[in-house]
Amino acid sequence: MSVIHFPLLLASLALGGCASTHHNPKDPFESFNRGVYQFNDAVDKAVVKPAAKGYNAVMPAPGKMMVSNFFSNLDDVIVAVNDLLQFKVVRAVSDSGRIVVNTTVGLFGLVDVASQVGLEKHHEDFGQTLGYWGVDSGPYLVIPLFGPSSVRDGVGLYADSRSGVLRRVDKVDTRNQLYATNLLSKRASMLDQEKVLDEAMIDRYSFIRDAYLQRRKSLIYDGNPPREKFDDDENDSAPDKTSANDHEEGMQPAVAEAVAVVAPDAAVSTEPSAPRQPGVYRIWLSQREGIR
């Protein structure tokens, strides 16, 4: 399982979502995508996972937390920019406040002081911004080394990478070391959860794809996506609202966990708060965005 794929699979399992194994119309490039998926998986097993184990062995817990906080602070710059692009002014102020507080009081982001004073982290990227303004996701796409994406999110990933803080580091060796450290930090945090994979008798590719598409939709709508129409709704003239709600909660269980503050997704505001990201989702999002 590749480093990019693994957290999303765990997230889906943790949320109780049911991935379909039948053909998904959003995945017309399935044959190509499965090949890339296998390539990413091979790279993870041969290189990334062994390196992450070494990182986990030598780095003490406080050190791992500080590394994670440092890169999360850098990510908040992208989050704040996309807040503004979506006209989420209150969130932009909150996320900018996180950057100021964590960069100063938090010693360049090593300590997440902002969360302790009520500024939770949000998750915004340019792919979400495009979706916010009505751009369709387009076909599902697995990107070499980056993992699950879509045509829209691939464009967003490129745009965010051009404005990422790490890209401003002039010294190439230092920049590459920072990228590598970020990658190892995220991958190491997932090592203890891999036993879930051994118990999951599923088509992992389909599971990851469906979970990714579901999650991105939830993020674009800040945890409150429009309810999808199911076959049962078409057959019943007066569908049972309780059953429909239960079904929707099964498909979008993250909605149940609302947050009041930021984690790239919120600060106290009058806007609807995004759901608090389950741990495995936060890992996946950090992993995906951390390679910028």
| Rg of the Cα atoms in the chain | 19
Cβ contacts of residue 272 below 8 Å, gap of 6+? 222, 223, 224
Give the mean model confidence (pLDDT) for residues 184-206: 78
pLDDT over 50 (residue 82): yes
| Strand, coil or helix: 140 | strand
**Least confident window among 29-38, 84-93, 220-229, 259-268:** 259-268
Would you state the pLDDT for residue 90?
94
Judged against a pLDDT cut of 60, whether residue 260 lies above it is answered with no
Considering only residues 19 and 37, tell me which one the structure prediction assigns the higher pLDDT: 37
The per-residue DSSP string of 200-268 comes to --S-HHHHHHHHHHHHHHHHHTTT-PPPPPPHHHHH-SS--HHHHHHHHHHH-GGGG-B-SS-EES--S
Listed range (4-13, 80-89, 100-109) with the worst mean pLDDT: 4-13
Q: Which amino acid does the sequence have at 256?
A: A
Q: What is the pLDDT of residue 229?
A: 63
Percent of the chain exceeding pLDDT 70 equals 67
Placement of tokens 């429009």 in the chain: 226
pLDDT above 90 (res 81): yes
CA gap 263, 217 in Å, rounded: 18
User: Residues 197-224: what's their mean pLDDT?
Assistant: 83
Domain boundaries, given as residue ranges, for the chain: 5-87+123-229+277-290
- Lowest-pLDDT range of 20-24, 31-35, 89-93: 20-24
- For the residues 59-70, what does the mean pLDDT come to? 94
Q: Residue 58 pLDDT > 90, yes or no? A: yes
CB 30 within 8 A of CB 234: no
Token pair belonging to 80: 């704040």
Asked whether the predicted pLDDT for residue 213 surpasses 50, the reply is yes
Given a cut of 50, whether residue 219 has pLDDT beyond it is yes
The region of weakest confidence among 23-37, 69-83, 243-257, 260-274 is 260-274
Q: Torsions phi, psi of 127, nearest 5?
A: -60, -40
- Whether pLDDT at 262 is above 50: no
Residue 208 has what pLDDT?
A: 87
Residue 161 three-state SS: helix
* Residue 184 pLDDT: 92
- What angle (nearest 5°) sits at the alpha carbon of residue 154, between those of residues 196 and 224? 65
Higher-scoring residue by pLDDT: 225, 267 = 225
Query: Contact 122/263 with Cβ under 8 angstroms?
Result: yes
Task: Give the residue ranges of DSSP H helices in 106-224.
Answer: 113-116, 126-132, 151-163, 172-188, 195-199, 204-220
List, in sequence order, every residue forming a beta bridge with 121; answer none if it has no partner: 263
pLDDT of 163 strictly over 50: yes
Q: How far apart are CA 161 and CA 249, in angstroms?
A: 34
C-alpha to C-alpha distance for 82 and 92, rounded to whole angstroms: 8
The larger pLDDT score, comparing residue 206 to residue 227, is at 206
